[in-house]
Structure 1
Amino acid sequence: MNGGDAATSQGSGPPPPLEWRFSQVFGERTAGEEVQEVDIISAIEFNKSGDHLATGDRGGRVVLFERTDAKDHGGSRRDLERADYAVKHPEFRYKTEFQSHEPEFDYLKSLEIEEKINKIRWCQPANGALFLLSTNDKTIKFWKVQEKKIKKVCDMNVDPSKAVGNGCLTSSSSPSQSVANGLYADGTHNYLSNDFSFPPGGFPSLHLPVVVTSQEASIVARCRRVYTHAHDYHINSISNSSDGETFISADDLRVNLWNLGISNQSFNIVDVKPANMEDLTEVITSAEFHPIHCNVLAYSSSKGSIRLIDLRQSALCDTHSKLFEEPEAPGSRSFFTEIIASISDIKFSKDGRYILSRDYMTLKLWDINMDSGPVATYQVHEHLRPKLCDLYENDSIFDKFECCLSGDGSRVATGSYSNLFRVFGVAPGITEATTLEASKNPMRRQVQTPSRPSRSLSSITRVVRRGSESPGSDGNGNSFDFTTKLLHLAWHPTENSVACAAANSLYMYYA
């Protein structure tokens, strides 16, 4: 790992290693509880301020959480070893949820379309309302979430002593009075006649309910727009532009540009589909807008390359302005080389200077001003390399892990198996590499274990030895559960706080 070669735009000295602590968990399973497929979390995203967090699941639901603690609060924790060590402990609570997507069936192609949420992206808030984009394989939706005051009927102002029957009142108690022409004998109006003209002074007995707005509020989610029929293949990415008006969506072969206000048309800006599909050698795996420049975006491929494109150069971006790829080491090619080189996720740093990419085995940090190779490479689970054949046989080698950067760009994080995630420091001279487990006891203790002969994948997945993995270990004697994997995680935009998904549970940590 050459993480010490990384350059960041942050201060001159390396930051101290972070001490991570468990913060919260939502949707934790009880012992022996079976997780339903539809409840497994498939997307996580903080909004720009970090005050709201959204998750999507395989059942097509979007769940929103909001921050409840004061932003300026940073008191000492009881369980801290040093009394002078004060941290901000972010706390979130459940806000609302809504059904974003439903299962569909494309009759023209005889294709089932899953309701699973692939990506969520927050848009700019307005007038106290929250806006976000969510997508499944084919359809993108634009949602508005806002609080609305509940209106209640609090007073019917009816005098029960005068009410007769269904509420119609008469001025006479004598049934023998004449009702000819709608008048009683004493000249008063008969309100029950067929004469619908209003009497002078109106109806004294007509009472209406009084509706008032209570202090209670209900959170309403409304789908404002649906963007559809623009992708022949599964959508793997959506990303907002910094202009607040446009966004991109990417599938295996195309990247489309949308205007948030126009749902019936999009502009195809990248098309890698060959004239003959037999000539297809790579597909698009992820796409991301530059955080500052709305004319710049990047997309990654299954061959491990990242292309930077500039919308000012050409309307159809057939050519890239920069290409980032790592030269293949001579003699290292194998059957799995291209599979594990495929990039599953890319993220820009907050200042747009760096691109973080995740392939199956590593995290790589790229400087957009240097396309000769990555400035840093971080090994996530190198000890799994001898097991690539087993991982291929059970399709684990095709798992798509996400990655994220801290707001100050000093650290990066990604997930692994056994619900582990790893945090690496990227400042010059720092070798921080922390391994945590998504549980209420996130720090794994270092345990000395004797070397054991390697075991088959089937025996590894049967037994999960908690506490056997230590940060920086080589995997000797470690047992990993490949059925539990931490694919999705997000870093708070301004604080050292990470949200990650383990099956149907959302775990949150702070440092």
Structure 2
Amino acid sequence: MNGGGEGLAAPATSGAAVSPLEWKFSQVFGERTAGEEVQEVDIISAIEFDRTGEHLATGDRGGRVVLFERTDIKDHGGHRRDLERMDYSISRHPEFRYKTEFQSHEPEFDYLKSLEIEEKINKIRWCQTANGALFLLSTNDKTIKYWKVQEKKIKKVCEMNVDASKSMENGAVASSMSASSKPYLANGACKDRPVSSPSNDTSFPALHLPVVVTSQETSLVARCRRVYAHAHDYHINSISNNSDGETFISADDLRINLWNLEISNQSFNIVDVKPANMEDLTEVITSAEFHPTHCNTLAYSSSKGSIRLIDLRQSALCDTHSKLFEEQEAPGSRSFFTEIIASISDIKFAKNGRHILSRDYMTLKLWDINMDSGPVATFQVHEHLRPKLCDLYENDSIFDKFECCLSGDGHRVGTGSYSNLFRVFGCSEGSTEATTLEASKNPMRRQVQTPARPSRSLGNLPRVLRRGADNSGADANGNSFDFTTKLLHLAWHPSENSIACAASNSLYMYYA
């Protein structure tokens, strides 16, 4: 198998080659109209499916979390709990709808450090559901919050002291008195009834106090259960749930902390790479994630392009790794940009825990945790940009942090690029699959005609590019790359070939 012209040590996954997928547009949420200006706070900064794929969460730079739910289901019993899932193999395509949203984080100011803390959501992670409620973690640069979202029955006030049949629209007691054949006095007594003294209250009518009752109507309520704060000196770049369902980690540039979901005022520092003298600092932590099934194992990546696997059973402070994964630098290939583009922006474990996928600026790499000599597969995402690294450095694009994802079956990997492109590669033995799609172009809407970027004909969607063939310095349309539009965030459905990806403030859904 070849990932863009490079020789590989071993196949990523064994078995017969899997035929390439044909990707189709499914849905878009928050799409711009032509010429509409996008507000900074509306730009999506995080995407995450839950374990079942029934729900999808997005976070934005305005500190909001938006939840979507799966809707391609059929009704067998009329009641929500009787709904059964359709056979997805015959379903038209997966459909999601807006469920609810809530303000997760607000802008803050650290007076001790004279530092503004943005409300931008850096990461979202789903937790285990319980009693029909949804639980998730969200974090900005400094503070992690634990949210519970559930349906609550609406409570209404009834049994007021005023007779509704006799009162007017304004509800005034005086009006009801004039309209009644037996007007009531202010104290609730009737004119036709003698008003007794307090000592003889047998004929005194009962005073009706307002009563709050629960109706059958429901509304979704998001409540912050816990706030995990004041544990990081640097910006949080990762949070990850443990498979034990009780703990999670948070990572910043120099430290990784272990938390218990039930305890918000205490965390344990399990990794600390901060040197005694900060002038000796050579690398920082860029991403961290728990193993999907082994609660004692986690991995974290660094700005030098290495991945370290650590075992929590070895010691309380895991500064020494159990395995180190890094690719040896080719002799004579070092340049000013080598270390910058080697920095890993995201890592993901495969669902079976056997492989780790990493994304650096130029490539995707797939690693076998049982083989630390080098990656088992390397996929060139936009190799034709290598001659333009100087320009990318000048406009800071070289520091963009692209995320990566794997399919649930482990046969494919995906990541984003510029011009709102996302790329999908097959990683089965013998696979040559390498698909490029522009997320923000779809056949469901009219294409905007511009001289610089002419619209794509439907026959060209999707366009399949073989590995190593994407060297033109252009996007799928054959046009020059647009570095102002970039697809940084995407997520793969846990059990189906469905991808959610964010381009600016728009959420695009594709399926195959």
TM-score grouping bracket, smaller chain normalisation: 0.7 to 0.9
- Where 1:397 maps in the other structure, the secondary structure is helix
Secondary structure of residue in 1 paired with 2:389: helix
Is residue 102 of structure 1 aligned with residue 101 of structure 2?
A: no
The 3 A distance-change label for structure 1 pair 301 and 94 is same
Distance change >3 Å, CA 152–CA 275, structure 1 → 2? same
1:179-198 equivalence runs, <5 A: 189-190=196-197
Whether the 8 Å CA contact 1:252–1:284 is kept in 2: the answer is yes
**In the alignment, what sits opposite 1:51?**
54
Residue 454 of structure 1 corresponds to which residue in structure 2? none
Shift of residue 13 of structure 1?
Answer: 1.5
Quote the Cα distance in structure 2 between the aligned partners of 1:104 and 1:98: 18
1:137-286 alignment to 2 at 5 Å?
137-153=141-157, 156=160, 158-159=162-163, 160=166, 161=180, 162=182, 164=184, 166=186, 168-170=187-189, 189-190=196-197, 199-200=201-202, 203-209=204-210, 211-286=212-287
What letter is aligned with 1:429?
G
SS at match of 1:347: strand
Cα drift, residue 172 of structure 1: 5.6
How far the C-alpha of 1:390 sits from its partner, in A, is 0.0
Distance of aligned partners of 1:72 and 1:130 in 2 relative to their CA distance in 1, 3 Å threshold:
same
Alignment deviations for residues 1-58 of structure 1 (CA, whole Å, 9 cap, x no partner): 8248664557x22221101000000000001000000000000000000000000000
User: Is the 8 Å Cα contact of residues 12 and 366 (structure 2) preserved in structure 1?
Assistant: no
Aligned to 2:93: 89
Report the AA paired with residue 474 of structure 1: N
Task: Tell me, in whole angstroms, the C-alpha distance in 2 between the residues paired with 1:484 and 1:294.
Answer: 38
SS in 2 for 1:414: strand
Tell me which residue corresponds to 1:448: none
Matched, 1:351 2:352: yes
2:157, 2:211 within 8 Å by CA — same for their partners in 1? yes
Give structure 2 stretches of 5+ with no counterpart: 74-84, 167-179, 445-450
Matching residue of 1:447: none
Distance in 2 separating the partners of 1:470 and 1:386: 24
User: Aligned-pair distance for 1:230?
Assistant: 0.3
Q: Which residue of 1 aligns with 2:25?
A: 22
Query: Aligned equivalents of 1:198 and 1:311: distance in 2?
Result: 77
CA distance in 2, matches of 1:26, 1:222: 25
User: CA 1:124–1:442 in structure 2 vs 1: closer, same or farther (change >3 Å)?
Assistant: farther
Does the C-alpha gap of structure 1 residues 94 and 171 become closer, same or farther in structure 2, counting only changes over 3 Å?
closer
Q: 2:447 matched to which residue of 1? A: none
Q: Which residue of 2 aligns with 1:63?
A: 66
Q: Equivalent residue of 1:258, what SS?
A: strand
CA displacement at 1:93 relative to structure 2: 0.4
Match of 1:122 in 2: 126
Partner SS, residue 287 of structure 1: strand
Inter-partner Cα distance in structure 2 for 1:6 and 1:124: 36
Shift in Å at residue 155 of structure 1? Answer: 5.2
* CA separation of 1:251 and 1:64: change in aligned 2, threshold 3 A: same
- Partner Cα distance (2:419, 2:441) in 1: 14
Distance 1:214 1:342 in 2: 55
How do 1:432-471 residues align onto structure 2 when only pairs under 5 Å count? 432-441=433-442, 463-464=452-453, 467=456, 471=465
**TM-score after normalising by structure 2:** 0.86
Distance 2:276 2:140 in 1: 27
Structure 1 residues 155, 415: CA separation in 2 closer, same or farther (over 3 Å shift)?
same
Tell me which residue corresponds to 1:179: none
SS at structure 1 position matched to 2:393: helix
The answer to whether the Cα contact below 8 Å between 2:256 and 2:271 also exists between their aligned partners in 1 is: yes
Please tell me the residue identity of whatever aligns with 1:378: F
Give deviations 1:173-231, integer Å, cap 9, x for gaps. 69xxxxxxxxxxx7x624xxxx5x79348x52422445443332100000000000000
CA contact (8 A) 1:119 1:136 kept: yes
Q: CA deviation at 1:119?
A: 0.2
Compared with structure 1, are the counterparts of its residues 479 and 210 closer, same or farther at alpha carbon in structure 2 (3 Å cutoff)? same
Q: Do the aligned partners of 1:123 and 1:131 also contact (CA within 8 Å) in 2?
A: yes
**Matched-pair contact (CA < 8 Å) for 1:156–1:208:** yes
- How far off is 1:405 after superposition? 0.2
2:321 corresponds to 1:301: no
SS in structure 2 of the partner of residue 340 of structure 1: helix
Q: 1:117 offset after TM fit, Å? A: 0.2
Separation in 2 of the partners of 1:284 and 1:140? Answer: 18
1:72 aligns with 2:73: no
Superposed displacement of residue 395, structure 1: 0.2
Instruction: Confirm or deny: 8 A CA contact 1:5 1:429 kept in the other structure.
Output: no
Q: Supply the AA of the counterpart residue of 2:226.
A: R
Offset at residue 151 of structure 1 (A): 2.0
Residues 72-121 of structure 1 deviation map (CA, whole Å, 9 limit, x = unaligned) = 3347xxxxxxxxxx566110000000000000000000000000000000
Determine if the alignment matches structure 1 residue 366 to structure 2 residue 367. yes
- The answer to whether residue 475 in structure 2 is matched with residue 474 in structure 1 is no
Aligned to 1:292, the other structure's residue is in SS state coil
Counterpart contact for 1:104–1:114, Cα < 8 Å: yes
Structure 2 Cα separation of the partners of residues 341 and 150 of structure 1: 54
**One-letter amino acid matched to 2:484:** T
Letter in 2 for 1:15: V
How far, CA to CA, are the matches of 2:357 and 2:128 in structure 1? 24
CA contact (8 A) 1:8 1:409 kept: no
Whichever residue aligns with residue 500 of structure 1, its letter is: C
Give the letter for the 1:141 counterpart: K
Letter in 2 for 1:220: V
Structure 1 portions without partners, runs of 5+ = 76-85, 175-185, 444-461
Shift of 1:286: 0.1
- Alignment CA distance shift 1:215-1:300 (3 Å): same
Could you tell me how far 1:275 is from its partner in structure 2? 0.3
Structure 2 residue matching 1:28: 3-state secondary structure: coil
- Aligned CA distance change for structure 1 residues 442 and 384 (closer, same or farther; 3 Å): farther
Count of residues in correspondence between the two structures:
464
Using the TM superposition, name which of 209-218 and 33-42 deviates more.
209-218
Is 1:342 matched with 2:343? yes
Distance 2:382 2:443 in 1: 18
What is the CA–CA distance in structure 1 between the aligned matches of 2:63 and 2:43, rounded to whole Å? 10
Pairing partner for 1:136 from 133, 140, 143: 140
Counterpart of 1:112 in structure 2 is 116
Quick one: structure 1 residues 247 and 170, their matched pair in 2 at CA, closer, same or farther if it must change by over 3 Å?
Answer: same
Task: Give the match for residue 291 of structure 2.
Answer: 290
Map of 1:369-408 to 2, 5 A cutoff?
369-408=370-409
How far did 1:153 drift? 3.4
Q: Secondary structure at the match of 2:384?
A: helix
Tell me if structure 2 keeps the 8 A contact 1:464–1:481.
Answer: no
Equivalent residue letter for 1:170 = A
CA 1:412/1:169 → structure 2, altered by over 3 Å: closer, same or farther? same
**Structure (1 or 2) with the larger CA radius of gyration:** 1
Q: Cα deviation per residue 1:378-410 (whole Å; 9 max; x = unaligned)?
A: 000000000000000000000000000000000
